[in-house]
Amino acid sequence: MQIYLPIAEVSVNAFLLFGLGGLVGMLSGLFGVGGGFLITPLLFFIGIPPTVAVATGANQVVASSVSGVLAHIKRRTVDFRMGAVLLAGGLLGSALGIWGFNLLSRLGQIDLVVQLSYVIFLGLIGLLMLQESLRALRRARRGPAAPIKRHQHLWVHKLPLKMKFRTSGLYISVAPPILVGVLVGVLAAIMGVGGGFIMVPAMIYLLGMPTKVVIGTSLFQIIFVTGFTTFMHAWTNQSVDLMLAMLLIVGGVVGAQIGTRIGAKLRAEQLRILLALLVLAVCLKLGIDLLVQPNELYSISGVGRA
């Protein structure tokens, strides 16, 4: 069944989109990743204009994060105060990102910047994930490793403007969380991702937050940052396609629940290697597209519209 997308102005197979949403949702349920970093490049591959893919991807992340955060709020694993500080940075970053996005659209370089960002970040995450899962696999064979030391005194603890974060049990400066927020906000605007893959490690290793509140807090922040990003894209460059978003969201939420069920039964380490390889494959495809001389050197776009 073909479906005509009103904003993208292309006709695509509805089941393909539903399946895409479902597949990415399943991966996010299995591995606890947002999936935005996979859905947007997959949309490029099926011919959705990159600007629409990014803005609609952000919209899809809102839905999957709302779905995820509710469980965390119930379990009291959301540090709202830390979330708010991260959010302040995130909104600033998102506004900056939207401004840059619209500027680059006018210059005709947005597709390139989006693709380049994806190559860099997918490459990075893919390699990190692969390394992490290989290590986990080895550790699983060898037996439990030594526990990680808590309450280390990192350089971030010496900065001014300190604030107490009771849920996380931290008393640190607000500067590092705000900076992390800004970075994630820029990524959300330019890449249409939630940025969990940057924020989660940053919260654990840079801010020293306890692991149990990290996911909930990052989801909480992601809802608002991607929400703000979606709104700004819809407002300033009309690139959110609700029809496309709906199909992805419905596929995504169903997939996520299935993924969570499967994840409970399967051993995640081997699967995680597959995910890492998948991420690297997408990265490679995008990278090759940039390096190899394209069949068509010319491209067309409307004037005044991205």
Partner 1 sequence: MIRVLALLLLLPAAAARAGEEVVAGLSQSKIAITANFDGSDLLIYGAVKREEPVPGGPPLEVIVTVEGPSTPIMVRRKSRTFGIWVNTTGVEVDRAPSFYAVATTGPLAEILSQTEDLRQKISVPQMIRSVGAPQEIADSPAFTEALIRIREANGLYSLHEGTVGLEEATLFRTDIDLPANLVEGDYRTRIFLLRNKAVIAQHETLIDVRKVGLERWLYDLAYGQPMIYGILALVVAALAGWTASAAFRFLRNG
Which spans of this chain sit near partner 1 (rule: CB under 8 A)? Answer: 1-4, 6-7, 9-11, 59-60, 62-68, 70-71, 108-109, 111-112, 116, 223, 227, 230-236, 238, 240, 242-243, 245-246, 249-250, 253-254, 256-257, 290-291, 293-294, 296-304
Long-range pairs of 151-159 with CB within 8 A, sequence gap ≥ 24: 151/208, 152/208, 154/206, 154/208, 156/206, 156/207, 156/208, 157/208
Cβ at position 161, least distance to partner 1 in Å: 31
If DSSP codes are grouped into helix, strand and coil, which group holds residue 1?
A: coil
6 vs 162, beta carbon nearer partner 1: 6
* CB nearer partner 1, residue 107 or residue 266: 107
Give min distance, CB of 289 to partner 1, in A: 8
Q: Given CA atoms 255, 256, 262, 268 in this order, what sign does their dihedral have?
A: positive
172: β partners: 163
Token pair for 132: 């992490």
The secondary structure of residue 10, as a DSSP letter, is E
Q: 175 vs 242, which CB is nearer to partner 1?
A: 242
* Of residues 133 and 218, the one with the C-beta less far from partner 1: 218
Q: How far is the CB of 208 from partner 1 (least distance, A)?
A: 30
CB closer to partner 1, 118 vs 165: 118
The distance of closest approach from Cβ of residue 157 to partner 1 in the complex, given in angstroms and rounded to an integer, is 35
- Least separation, in Å, of the C-beta of 201 and partner 1? 24
**What is each CA distance from 108 to 50, 101, 104, 111, 114, in whole angstroms?**
12, 10, 6, 8, 12
Structure tokens at 98: 């939207």
Where are the alpha helices (H) located in 143-195, listed in sequence order? 175-191
